[in-house]
């Protein structure tokens, strides 16, 4: 099951996010997920594991497990590389051992002090506040992203963590419209206005943190997971599915792409088994009623500045 992007390319509606995945586990994770049926992988320079992902992908291609053209690979431009878009993209391609990317995203709508291509530091000043580069506009960054498409390095380009107003601006100055806006959205942080705005203007919404972050974000940010919500637990019993499957199905029925992260084989399989049932309109409305407007992914904890304030 796939969504056709404004660029004309198809993006599978379920992908695997590789944030916070390290070392040798990545190889098994990628290989096993391909065997299960995953064809969409969401990466980023900032995850600092593109090299390991590339080794696993190369093995999958060389052994005939899957063809390159059957996979959809996303990675992202880090904040410190806004003035070095071409070099950063080429660095990611080299690490991933790919000739082209299916999708390249501006990871966050902010340019920070350059720390060197291939590094993804977040330089802080003496007060512990992110060193923001005021000489590079998001418009300049976007036009450099557009050049990647004309050079054949990238098939589709998009944005990530952009609100309605920044997305509107991007639509105004772009020659190539953003094909995707990847944002945090889940039952506790539904962001209906932003989702509908993007979809109205032909921008596919990808839900990162589609399960609300669960253990990872509870550990890092002290956030509450929607997976413990009694309403969702009740629906899981009704449909004889897990709570995670209910949440992912809800995301799919909103016409968003979901990229859950897991390092466990049984969860990999579980998260992919979401195509054999459908939530009723009443149950979709029920889930709509539990929105807490609660963001779980909060980089301000590390940056000393709230990007989303």
- What positions carry a catalytic annotation? 47
Closest CA to 106 of 156, 68, 72, 71: 156
Q: What are 194's two structure tokens?
A: 């932003």
Tokens 């796939």 -> residue = 2
Beta bridge partners of 20: none
Cβ neighbors of 137 (< 8 A, separation 6 or more) are none
Whole-number Å distance between alpha carbons of 278 and 264: 25
Is 107 assigned a ligand-binding role in the annotation?
Answer: yes
Q: Are strands 101-106 and 204-208 parallel, antiparallel or unpaired?
A: unpaired
C-beta separation of 247 from 211 below 8 A: yes
SS3 letters across 187-232: CCECCHHHHHHHHHCCCEEEEECCCCCHHHHHHHHCCCCHHHCHHH
H/E stretch holding 172 reads helix 164-173
- Pick from 47, 37, 43, 44: nearest CA to 14: 37
Decide: 166 and 138 in contact? Cβ < 8 Å.
yes
Q: Which of 235, 254, 257 is nearest to 246 (CA)?
A: 235
* Residue list, annotated binding site: 107
């Amino acid at each position: 099951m796939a969504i056709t992007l404004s660029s004309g390319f198809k993006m599978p509606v379920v992908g695997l996010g590789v944030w916070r995945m390290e070392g040798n586990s990545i190889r098994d994770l990628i290989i096993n997920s391909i065997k299960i049926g995953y064809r969409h992988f969401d990466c980023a320079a900032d995850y600092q594991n593109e090299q390991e992902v590339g080794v696993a992908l190369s093995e999958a291609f060389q052994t005939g497990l899957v063809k390159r053209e059957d996979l959809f690979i996303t990675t992202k431009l880090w904040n410190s590389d806004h003035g070095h878009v071409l070099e950063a993209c080429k660095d990611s391609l080299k690490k991933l051992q790919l000739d082209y990317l299916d999708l390249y995203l501006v990871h966050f709508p902010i340019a920070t002090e350059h720390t060197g291509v291939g590094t993804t530091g977040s330089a802080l000043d003496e007060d512990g506040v992110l060193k923001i580069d005021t000489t590079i506009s998001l418009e300049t960054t976007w036009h450099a992203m557009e050049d990647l498409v004309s050079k054949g390095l990238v098939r589709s380009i998009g944005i990530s963590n952009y609100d309605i107003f920044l997305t509107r601006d991007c639509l105004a100055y772009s020659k190539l419209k953003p094909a995707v806006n990847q944002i945090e959205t889940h039952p506790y942080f539904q962001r209906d206005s932003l989702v509908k705005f993007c979809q109205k203007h032909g921008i596919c919404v990808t839900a990162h943190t589609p399960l609300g972050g669960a253990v990872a974000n509870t550990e890092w940010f002290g956030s509450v997971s929607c997976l413990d919500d009694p309403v969702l637990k009740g629906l899981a019993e009704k449909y004889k599915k897990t709570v995670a499957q209910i949440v992912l199905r809800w995301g799919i029925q909103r016409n968003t792409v979901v990229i859950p992260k897991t390092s466990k084989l049984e969860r990999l399989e579980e998260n992919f088994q979401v195509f054999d049932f459908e939530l009723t309109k009443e149950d979709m409305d029920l889930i709509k009623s539990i929105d807490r407007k609660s963001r779980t992914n909060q980089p301000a904890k590390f940056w000393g500045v709230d990007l989303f304030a």
